[in-house]
Structure formats: C-alpha cells, structure tokens
Amino acid sequence: MTKKSKKATIPKYTKWIWRIFFGGITFVFLIFLLASLGVFGSLPTFEELENPENNLATEVISIDGKTLGKYYRENRTPVKYTELPKNLIDALIATEDERFLEHSGIDFRGTARAAIKFGKGGGASTITQQLAKMLFTKRASGNIFKRLIQKAKEWIISIRLEKQYTKNEIITMYLNKYDFGHNAVGIRSAARIHFGKEPIDLAIEESAMLVGMLKNSSLYNPMRRLEMVQQRRNVVLKQMTRNEFISDKVKDSLQKLPLKLDVNLEGHSDGTATYFREYLRGFMKGWISKNPKPNGESYNIYRDGLKIYVTLDSRLQNYAEEAMSEHMNNLQSAFFKQQKNNKTAPFYDLDLNQIERTMYSAMKRSDRWRKMKRSGKSEKEIIGSFQEKTAMKLFSWKGDFDTIMTPYDSIRYNKHFLQSGLFSTDPQTGHVKAWVGGINYKHFQYDHVKQGKRQVGSTFKPFVYATAINQLGLSPCDQYPNTPYTIPKGKYHLNEDWTPRNSGGEKAYGGMRTLKSALANSINVISANLIDQTTPQNVVRLAKNLGIESDIPAVPSIALGTIDLSLYEMLGALNTFANKGMFVKPMMILRIEDKNGTILEEFTPKTKEVLNEEIAYTIINLMEGVTTGGSGIRLRTSSGKYPDDIVTGYPYQFKNPIAGKTGTTQNQSDGWFMGLVPNLSTGIWVGAEDRAVHFTDLGRGQGASMALPIWALYMQKAYADEDLDISTEDFERPENLSINLDCNKKLDSENTKDDKKKPKPGSEIDF
C-alpha cells in the first residue's frame, strides 16, 4: 500500500479530534499564561502572599489566661500549627486532600478524575487551592469562560503559595481563615463556640465534625441540622480509616457517639463580662485616639488582632454572674408576688399623671424614638407607633420569650425588673476581679457599676466616722447619746432645722451607744452628731481624697448617704481602709499587645496615701462590727426572722473576719452591701431603673435582703475554689496600735495621754 493510500484511510473526523484536543490544550495554556501575566486582573504580589490581609479579632484575656470576649468584624483569632491537634490535621487531609503532602498545590490526578467525571466526583480542589480562593479570589459567576479564568488564577496562586509557605503553614492558614458560621471564623472560634474548648483539646469525633463542616458550613450547621451533621462527621471518620489514621474499631466506636455540643456563642452581647467589655470598648476608643501605629495610622480593634490583657479573673467573674442570677431570680419572684394586686404596678409612689410622664420620658430614651425621629417622623406619629402591637422578644428569668405586645407595654413590663450591679477588686493592687453591670446585657444595657449612680444610703457612713476619728481623736469605744439630734436652721446654710430619725421608730432610741455599735446598727442620730462636730466640708474633703469624683454637696444630710454615687466610686474609696490608708485607683488593664505580641502599653496602679494606718484599721474594725452584731449579722447565723423567699442559700454561716456595710435608701429604692476581706472587696447594688419601683416593706427592701445575699453567694463560690486563695485571715493589725478597739478595757497609753490635743470641732483637716 502506498503512502498516499494510507493517508487517505485516516478519517477526516479523526484529524478534527486531534486538532480540537491540541487546540484545547493550547487554549488552556494561553488562559493560564495570560492569567499569570495579569491580563484578566491582578494577582497577589509577593508582599501580599507574605502577609495575606485578614480581619483579626481583638481578644480580651483575663488574668488567668481565659478569653473573656472579642471585638471583631470577623470573629477570627489565629492559632499556630503547634496549637492544632494531630487528629484535626489527619481528618482534614483524609477528607479534603488525600495527596496534600505529595503535590505542589495542584492535584493533577484528582483534576483528571474530575474532568473525566465532569465534576460529579468532586471538583478536585486541593487545600491550597481552597486557601487561594478564600484569600485572593472571588466566587466566579456567569459563563464557563469566567469560571475557567478563576480556576486558572487559583492554580497560579496555589503554586505560588506552595513556594512561599510550608505545608504546615498552609494548613494553619486554611483553618484560621475558614468561616464555620455563627460568628466562628477560624478553627479557634469554631472550637470555642461549638465545644467550649481550645483546638488542641478537641477529641477525634469533635475534630471530625468541624472538618465535616468544611464542605458547606451553612448546610452542615450543627445548631440546625444535627442529624445531617452527624452523618457528615461519620463520613470524615470513614475517610480517616481509609487513609489509615484510625482503625476500623476506633471508627465504629466513634460513629456510634452522638454529637455533644457545648455551645458558647461569642457575639458582642454573648458570653461573660459583657458589661465590662462594653466599658472596655469605650476605653479603647480613647486609647486608640492617643496611640497611633508607627506609620501614623489608627489601630482598629475590629481588624487588627490586638490582645488586651485585663485584671478580671474569669473564675470570679463567672461566680459573680452566677450569684447575681441565683439571687435576682428569686428576689424578682418575691417582687412580682408583692405587685400582683397593685393596679399602679410597678410604680408605687406615682399617680396616673406621674406614671404617664415617666413613660413618656422612657419612650423618648428608646431606640425606636431615636430611629423614627431621624427618619423625619412627627412626635404624634412616633407616640402612636408605641401603641401598635408588634412581634418582639422579651426577657424573663425562665428565658427569653417571643410575644406580640405594644412597645409601650413592653417598656412598662421591663420596668418591673429589679436591676443589680456587682464590682469586685483586690484592695491591695486595685485589680478589678469581677464586673457585673446588670442582670442581662442583651435586654438591659445600662451599666450599674460605673455608668449608674444611685443614693448610697448608710454605706457612706464609714467616711463620716473616719473623719470624726481622725479629726476628733475618737475611738470605736467612745459613746454618744442615742437621742434625736438637731442641726439648727442657718447652720451650713440650712433653710430649716434638720433632725434625722432612726429607722425602727421609737424603740430605736435611748441610752448611750459606742461608735462601733452605732455604725453596726446604722444609728442616724449619731451620724448627724458626728458630721456636725467635724463639718460636712471635712467629710467631703476626705471622700474626694478617697477617690470619689462625683459632686458631693457639703450639707449635713450626706451623713445619711443622700448623695448619688457609682458602685465603682464607693468600693474604690472603701478599699483605702482595707489597704492601710493607701488609695489605689481601680485598675482594669495590665497591658495591650499587637497581633505579633509586641507590647504597646503596660499599665501600673495609681496610688496615694490618704490616711494613716491606724485610722484605716480602726474603720475596718468598726465595719467588722456590722457583720458580727449589726445589720450584716445574717452572714453569720440563722435566726429564722429573715424572709426565706428572698435570701437564697441562707444561712451562710461565714466564720472569717468580714468588714461590711449595708445601705438602704428612702422607700427601699436602693439596697447596698459592701463586703471586704483582706484580699477581695466586693460591692453590690440592687434597685429598679425607676426609684418609684420598689418593695413596699423594709424586710424585703433593705440592703441586707436585696444586696447582701449576692455577696454571700459569690463569696461561697469563691471560697470553695481553693485555687483562688481568698483570704480567711484577719486584717493586718498595725504594730503598737494607740487607738482602743477593745471596749471592755483601756490601753495603758490612754492613762498617760492627757496632753493629747484634739482639734476643735469644725476645724479644717488635711487628709
């Protein structure tokens, strides 16, 4: 057969097949060549590959190394490869890219298989390609040509990533970047949110579930499709067996396990220390304005991955939140029972016109009013909208519930709830250990630690006594008559005579009282006597030196706590007595670091000496009398006379020294308890948003019933945790103490100090 005849036997269609084949290869080659040259859009530069842009969450880290919360656009906190468990890496490779350790970014065998099956067996994207897509390319839409261009870009970027990074680094970047849903961007957030643990602590079945979610985290959502996610987890376990990472026996046992989620959402309103984190957000805004980056740009707490190390202890913070919830739930139940038959509930002290004015004021402060005002609505339209029923979610101690209600009624409903604040510090260092600003941040965002100020009642009396002891040379054993005391009109610019009354009626008067007994039982007439001898001006001067920044009028009534102060100010001032007369400003932040661990600022306590050690110790001794024989006695023993329905966990039966002070304001609108042990001071306030909302009786409405039980529950939990080492010892007594604290005997020095001169009442004293 001639060459010509052989050539003639080759069918024409065979030539076209080869032309199409080689033409296709040439076309694909040109696509990749042009893509690499940037014809279809720029590719990442070397610098971009070296530092791929990420939105990194700023992390708030407690003094015991726990993450309290984050600020973020994307809730991503990167981890290192060494912080990833082997079972997670094995599951990832077995499921997503079996030949990951062998290829250089492109799995040609998998690609060929996918091409033959027209993509029905999977897209053959390697882990590196998936990372390239997440980092540098957008999802392609439109025709096959656009998708081909995107795939070309992914391949090119994948090869460059493989040249730039090690396999371990690629795995780490991939797991740090993937969005698992529910504000869980990256493996650390996913592990914490779904299982309440760090990635390194994940069990095999937990790692398998998270790897299973990588296929489609929206579809395989364990909070919505538990059964589907479990089936997907079992596929991952099967793949791990296929790739010899686990045995068939282990796989079979793990596949039988149910999914055991421990959901810990990390939204801005979720988690622990929510009120503190909101305060910290405001602080960081000011800090950022004064501390630019080296290049002059401003830090961004939502993207720059800062680490803020704070003084809060996560254990104490959790105990504080638990204690508040336990007692306030019970207290609220008692309050609802009392209101049941009250037609004007929750406003006991207001007539109908006053109630309407109060509600109008509340409406004007609401988000609904502000939004409608900005949109140009008239006041009449806005007020009308508050009477239109709408679907909403409301708070209850049994859990949030959905309902249909008018916004007006929802405001009135929320005003029924008693609020609370708890503030706990180390008096020696000033370190804030726990901060609970309210009962539920999602529904009640007003912070009752630092933002809110309320009448402090008798908790202010230690400042009056400290002024008197320092200025007049008194001791706790000095006695004063327990009889009505009047400061006449005109003195201290009074418009009329001022004669305060003791709580308890006529039986609360009579005889002589030592200062120790007077403070322990909050005897008002003796407080009035003391402030008249020392002058209100000197009491104000001491309070200011103790760190109180709010305005305090120099009037006699401050002896009874008629002024509004914050819990933050009150505890900070009282801490001075526990710290031997040295004021330490409450301190919340230890240091701030950037994402690379470079320290941007370290913080140190601010201190100043206010009182000598003897005076400070004497006030502590007086306050100890409150818990051994005064208004705080229920910390020690059960007498059966206190309302069982509100004193959760009573009797408490503390045996250790406790310096304390209760406080109750007019009409039981505010209840306070301040309790101090040598290395932990804690203040509690309880009351409603509006002062007209309160208990009608003193038994339930006093500070010893409303606030003290929270302190007791909190300290019970703290003492039970031996790792915290909360002191049960006495406060340190000064050597050669010259002030008599034992009212049953006199110090020898008292017999020879005839020449001791006491300042004249009303003289100016520098504290």
Q: What is the DSSP string of 501-540?
A: --TTGGGG--SEEEHHHHHHTT-HHHHHHHHHHH-HHHHH
Q: What is the 3-state secondary structure (H, E, C) of 414-455?
A: HCCCEEEEEEEECCCCCEEEEEECCCCCCCCCCCCCCCCCEE
Distance CA(483)–CA(589), nearest Å, equals 49
* Tokens read off for 287: 């800090």
The long-range contacts involving 331-336, CB below 8 angstroms and separated by at least 24 positions, are: 331/418, 331/646, 331/686, 331/706, 332/397, 332/417, 332/418, 333/397, 333/645, 334/643, 334/645, 334/646, 334/700, 335/416, 335/418, 335/695, 335/700, 336/416
Residue 119 binned pLDDT confidence (cut-offs 50, 70, 90): very low
Does the domain spanning 421-441+448-752 belong to CATH 3.40.710.10? yes
Average pLDDT of 112-131? 62
Distance CA(514)–CA(740), nearest Å, equals 12
Residue 756 binned pLDDT confidence (cut-offs 50, 70, 90): very low
Residue 636 pLDDT: 87
Residue 144 pLDDT: 55
Distance CA(239)–CA(639), nearest Å, equals 66
Name which of 21-30, 53-62, 493-502, 591-600 the model is least confident about.
21-30
Q: What is the 3-state secondary structure (H, E, C) of 213-265?
A: HCCCCCCCCCCCCHHHHHHHHHHHHHHHHHCCCCCHHHHHHHHCCCCCCCCCC
Q: What is the DSSP string of 46-98?
A: HHHHHS----BPEEEE-TTS-EEEEE-SS------GGGS-HHHHHHHHHHH-T
Residue 73 binned pLDDT confidence (cut-offs 50, 70, 90): confident
Q: 685 near 670, Cβ under 8 Å?
A: yes
| 137 or 568, greater pLDDT | 568
Tell me the helix, strand and coil percentages in the chain, rounded to 5: 45, 10, 45
Q: 203 near 197, Cβ under 8 Å?
A: no
* Tokens read off for 491: 């003195």
Does position 747 have pLDDT exceeding 60, yes or no?
no
Residue 242 pLDDT: 93
Residues facing residue 309 across a β-bridge: 61, 591
Average pLDDT of 359-373? 91
Residue 291 pLDDT: 96
Residue 640 pLDDT: 45
Q: How far is CA 33 from the centre of its chain?
A: 53
Burial (CB count within 10 angstroms: exposed 0-12, middle 13-18, buried 19+), residue 384: exposed
Name which of 5-14, 273-282, 361-370, 392-401 the model is least confident about.
5-14
Distance CA(562)–CA(527), nearest Å, equals 13
Q: 438 near 448, Cβ under 8 Å?
A: yes
Average pLDDT of 661-680? 95
Quote the crossing angle between the two packed helices 204-213 and 226-242, to the nearest 10°: 110
* Tokens read off for 327: 């007692």
Distance in angstroms between the alpha carbons of the first and the last residue of the chain = 123
Residue 645 pLDDT: 47
Average pLDDT of 411-438? 96
Torsion 63-69-70-76 (CA) sign:
positive
Pairing of strands 307-310, 58-61: parallel
Residue 126 pLDDT: 87
- Residue found under tokens 């504080």: 320
Name which of 107-116, 257-266, 605-614, 669-678 the model is least confident about.
107-116
Q: 718 near 728, Cβ under 8 Å?
A: no
Average pLDDT of 646-670? 84
Residue 766 pLDDT: 41
SS3 186: coil
Mean pLDDT score across all residues of the chain: 86
Burial (CB count within 10 angstroms: exposed 0-12, middle 13-18, buried 19+), residue 676: buried
Average pLDDT of 301-313? 95
Distance CA(694)–CA(689), nearest Å, equals 10
Q: What are phi and psi of 186, to 5 degrees?
A: 95, 155
| CB atoms closer than 10 angstroms to residue 499 | 13
Average pLDDT of 534-544? 97
Residue 530 pLDDT: 97
Q: In terms of Cα–Cα distance, which of 477, 480, 472 is closest to 745? A: 477
Highest mean pLDDT out of 74-83, 89-98, 458-467: 458-467
Pairing of strands 307-310, 607-609: unpaired
Residue 440 binned pLDDT confidence (cut-offs 50, 70, 90): very high
Name which of 17-21, 88-92, 504-508, 711-715 the model is least confident about.
17-21
CA dihedral 108, 114, 116, 118 (to 10 degrees): -150
Domain boundaries defined on the chain: 76-255, 348-414, 421-441+448-752
Distance CA(155)–CA(134), nearest Å, equals 13
Does position 130 have pLDDT exceeding 90, yes or no?
no
pLDDT digits (tens, 9 = 90+) for 594-649: 999 999 999 999 999 999 999 999 999 999 999 998 999 989 875 444 444 455 45
pLDDT digits (tens, 9 = 90+) for 83-105: 999 999 999 999 998 888 888 77
Name which of 111-115, 324-328, 481-485 the model is least confident about.
111-115
Residue 552 pLDDT: 97
pLDDT digits (tens, 9 = 90+) for 134-178: 776 665 555 555 565 566 677 777 778 888 888 898 899 889 889
Residue 609 pLDDT: 95
Residue 270 pLDDT: 76
Residue 388 binned pLDDT confidence (cut-offs 50, 70, 90): very high
Residue 748 binned pLDDT confidence (cut-offs 50, 70, 90): very low
| 509 or 152, greater pLDDT | 509
* Tokens read off for 264: 């810990």
- Residues 76-255: name the CATH superfamily: Biosynthetic peptidoglycan transglycosylase-like (1.10.3810.10)
Distance CA(363)–CA(353), nearest Å, equals 15
Distance CA(328)–CA(49), nearest Å, equals 54
| 755 or 250, greater pLDDT | 250
Average pLDDT of 248-273? 87
Does position 479 have pLDDT exceeding 50, yes or no?
yes
Residue 746 pLDDT: 47
> Is cis: bond before 678, omega within 30 of 0?
no
Q: 464 near 529, Cβ under 8 Å?
A: no
Burial (CB count within 10 angstroms: exposed 0-12, middle 13-18, buried 19+), residue 164: middle
Does position 493 have pLDDT exceeding 50, yes or no?
yes
* Tokens read off for 523: 């005897």
Q: Could you check whether 76-255 and 421-441+448-752 share the same CATH topology?
A: no
Does position 207 have pLDDT exceeding 80, yes or no?
yes
Q: What is the DSSP string of 368-399?
A: HHHHHHHTT--HHHHHHHTTS-EEEEE--TT-
Average pLDDT of 4-28? 57
Q: Of all residues in the chain, what percent carry a pLDDT higher than 70?
A: 83
Q: What is the DSSP string of 314-374?
A: HHHHHHHHHHHHHHHHHHHHHHHHHHTT-TTTT-SS--HHHHHHHHHHHHHTSHHHHHHHH
SS3 115: helix
What are the Cα distances from residue 28, in Å, to 32, 58, 65, 461, 656?
A: 6, 44, 53, 86, 81
Name which of 243-257, 438-452, 481-495, 628-642 the model is least confident about.
628-642
